[in-house]
Structure 1
Amino acid sequence: MDNVLEDNVLEGRVALVAGATRGAGRQIAVQLGARGATVYVTGRSTRQQRSEIDRPETIEETAELVTAAGGTGIPVQVDHLEADQVRALVERVDADHGRLDVLVNNIWGAEALFSWDQKLWEHPLETGLRILRLAVDTHIVTSHFALPLLTRRPGGLVVEMTDGTDAYNRENYRISFFYDLAKTSVLRMAYAQAKEIGPLGGTAVALTPGWMRSELMLEHFGVTEQNWRDAIAKEPHFAISESPAFVGRAVAALAADPEVARWNGQSLSSGGLAREYGFTDLDGSRPDAWRYLVEVQDAGRPADVTGYR
């Protein structure tokens, strides 16, 4: 499968990364660009206007990183809850290229809304329903408009980004009712889309990173990507963490795989796909966070990443 790691293997391909302002979405877009793809990057935060999250990252920055990596980055401000905006986005992609090869539904935007400590009946209902709107409805709206273009020719790929594999989330409660429901819903959404686009030559999968060093996570621990290991003193299990580029490379490998249909309907992880395709994280390692979580962290064993990265 070495060909999936080559530069320019995605030249001529068109991708839409919905929710690409920061975190996994940004690096998914960049890693697709690094292999030559044209990537539409969407989000609500621009240099002129911040979203309710009120962070400095912008879609323009992401698009520039895509282009610098070797692809073509195109920023489009879109609120994926607004059907008219999503319809216009897909119409633009169609008018510009007449094709869509990869759709990554990475919209989330609820980082500051959910509570780990409140039960369903204690959690503000309006906020909880807003979480589900941001995490689930956005994906539905986007796929509704994008799938007709993506399935116009065989080989299209849909990647539903979530947190946790199907096997892990089925056996473990994800601490908060609304967080649990949001992330497990996306897993089922990938399976359902696989059933609908598979007969048309398309592939849909769910994909989870491990413990990802997003901008928010690095700030939480007071570190940067350059000195992230300093956080291990505070949280030893952080040693298994991965950069956002790791899951980005997972998506790029899937997009470049001529036999990607073998994954249709499956729940995948960055660590599992690294073993399959041979890519590494930026530091040359292959962290397998979900196996580590089950066998070490959840098992109450001391932090030790030996054999897991």
Structure 2
Amino acid sequence: MSLSGQIAIVTGASRGIGRGIALQLGEAGATVYITGRKPEESLNSKVGLSGLEQTAEEITKRGGKGIARFVDHQNMDEVKNFFEVIEREHNGQLDILVNNAYQGVTTISENMGKPFYETDPHVWDTVNNVGLRNHYFCSVYAARLMASRNKGLIVNVSSGGGLRYLFNVAYGVGKQALDRLSADAAVELAKKNVCVVSIWPGAVRTELIDKYFKDENGNPKAGIKNAKVFTSGETVEYPGKAVVSLALDPRRMDKTGRILITEDLGREYGFVDIDGLKPPNMRSLSFIIQHLGWNTTANFVPNWVKVPGWILWAGSSRL
């Protein structure tokens, strides 16, 4: 089975999880449009191809067709124009949208540990303009194309930050809103056979994570909380395997409106990471204990012991 003939969009695919998802969609045979901001001309002239263009080339090398498009996802006119191009070039066909673009990583790291009332309130816009508002706009334009053909898949890349406090107020509110976007859009798109889900990757070994948590020898840095959790986590392509599996599943509508954890999908569909490993599940009791910093205790708890999803939700309930 393959995704040959299918048209996919992955926003924010220059690096990280977006790049990994785009590569896996390409490896499955899809035509993949990837978006990102245009690099500065001076920088571009020095380094040659941008990260976005390099990703597009790799997609094509893997058997798909990679098409890079520079889109500023802060600018909704550019977003609208981009989807109009997709509609014209493919006679209205769009099979997969992955909302992954995000702008707030640097802002979050710079304000880590500061309460929201001591930070500039414009942090909200930095975190949630691209990471939430843009996702809504992209979902609207994609859903119009998919609904007209009575088929499609929209994936919102979210996180456990929508469950309970993580990083800062703006981040958590944005992620919970993104999960609600998936749930409510799924209600309205159910009759159009368009599946909408949020996926929660676990601890992902992105380029930024490796830089922060690993030493020069590739080992977890001493003295940094959660270093071991992240350095033993998923590669950026593991969430991509999850998206491909969903796209190929003829019964994916059974999952519409839900939050899906990548490792749960790996266990269900039978795939492993590109390094042959099975990453930890965020519902795994050992993972949770390790995330709390109790590494020694975590070593005595089997990975297969998981906390049921309803307990996680109950633990975050405000009612």
Per the normalisation by structure 1, the TM-score is 0.86
Equivalent of residue 66 in structure 1, options 35, 56, 59: 59
Cα shift at 1:288: 2.8
In 2, Cα distance between equivalents of 1:113 and 1:301: 29
In 2, Cα distance between equivalents of 1:157 and 1:201: 9
Equivalent of residue 218 in structure 1, options 188, 196, 210: 210
Cα shift at 1:72: 0.2
The 1:173–1:31 alpha-carbon spacing in structure 2 relative to 1, beyond 3 Å, is same
Cα shift at 1:152: 1.9
Matched-pair contact (CA < 8 Å) for 2:162–2:174: no
In 1, Cα distance between equivalents of 2:19 and 2:192: 29
Paired position in structure 1 for 2:70: 77
* Pairing 1:107–2:101 present: yes
Cα shift at 1:186: 1.0
In 2, Cα distance between equivalents of 1:213 and 1:254: 22
* Pairing 1:248–2:240 present: yes
Matched-pair contact (CA < 8 Å) for 1:10–1:35: yes
Aligned residue identity for 1:241: G
Determine helix, strand or coil for the equivalent of 2:97: strand
In 2, Cα distance between equivalents of 1:107 and 1:151: 23
Matched-pair contact (CA < 8 Å) for 2:195–2:255: yes
Cα shift at 1:240: 3.8
Q: Which runs of 5+ in 1 are unaligned?
A: 1-5
Cα shift at 1:82: 1.7
In 2, Cα distance between equivalents of 1:15 and 1:197: 18
In 2, Cα distance between equivalents of 1:131 and 1:49: 27
Cα shift at 1:128: 2.7
18-27 vs 42-51, greater mean Cα deviation: 42-51
Paired position in structure 2 for 1:190: 182
Paired position in structure 1 for 2:220: 231
Which structure 2 residues correspond to residues 151-300 of structure 1 after superposition, within 5 A? 151-164=147-160, 169-170=162-163, 172-222=164-214, 228=218, 230-231=219-220, 235-238=227-230, 240-292=232-284, 293-298=287-292, 300=294
For residues 141-171 of structure 1, the C-alpha deviation after alignment (integer angstroms, 9 at most, x for no partner) is 211222111222123000000122xxx743x
In 2, Cα distance between equivalents of 1:50 and 1:22: 17
Aligned residue identity for 1:61: Q
Cα shift at 1:178: 1.1
Indicate the percent of aligned positions where both proteins have the same amino acid. 32
RMSD: 2.4
* Pairing 1:16–2:9 present: yes
The 1:64–1:216 alpha-carbon spacing in structure 2 relative to 1, beyond 3 Å, is same
Matched-pair contact (CA < 8 Å) for 1:232–1:238: no
Name which one, 1 or 2, has greater alpha-carbon Rg: 2
Aligned residue identity for 2:143: L
Runs (4+) of structure 1 moved beyond 6 Å?
Answer: none
The 1:233–1:105 alpha-carbon spacing in structure 2 relative to 1, beyond 3 Å, is same
Paired position in structure 2 for 1:147: 143
Paired position in structure 2 for 1:36: 29
For residues 56-101 of structure 1, the C-alpha deviation after alignment (integer angstroms, 9 at most, x for no partner) is 9621111111111110000000012222211221111111112000
Matched-pair contact (CA < 8 Å) for 1:22–1:57: no
Q: Which runs of 5+ in 2 are unaligned?
A: 306-319
Cα shift at 1:267: 0.1
In 2, Cα distance between equivalents of 1:220 and 1:301: 19
246-255 vs 293-302, greater mean Cα deviation: 293-302
Matched-pair contact (CA < 8 Å) for 1:43–1:78: yes
Paired position in structure 2 for 1:97: 90
Matched-pair contact (CA < 8 Å) for 1:19–1:107: yes
Aligned residue identity for 1:281: D
Aligned residue identity for 1:22: R
Matched-pair contact (CA < 8 Å) for 1:154–1:200: yes
What is the aligned length? 291
In 2, Cα distance between equivalents of 1:91 and 1:239: 40
In 1, Cα distance between equivalents of 2:11 and 2:183: 19
Cα shift at 1:203: 0.4
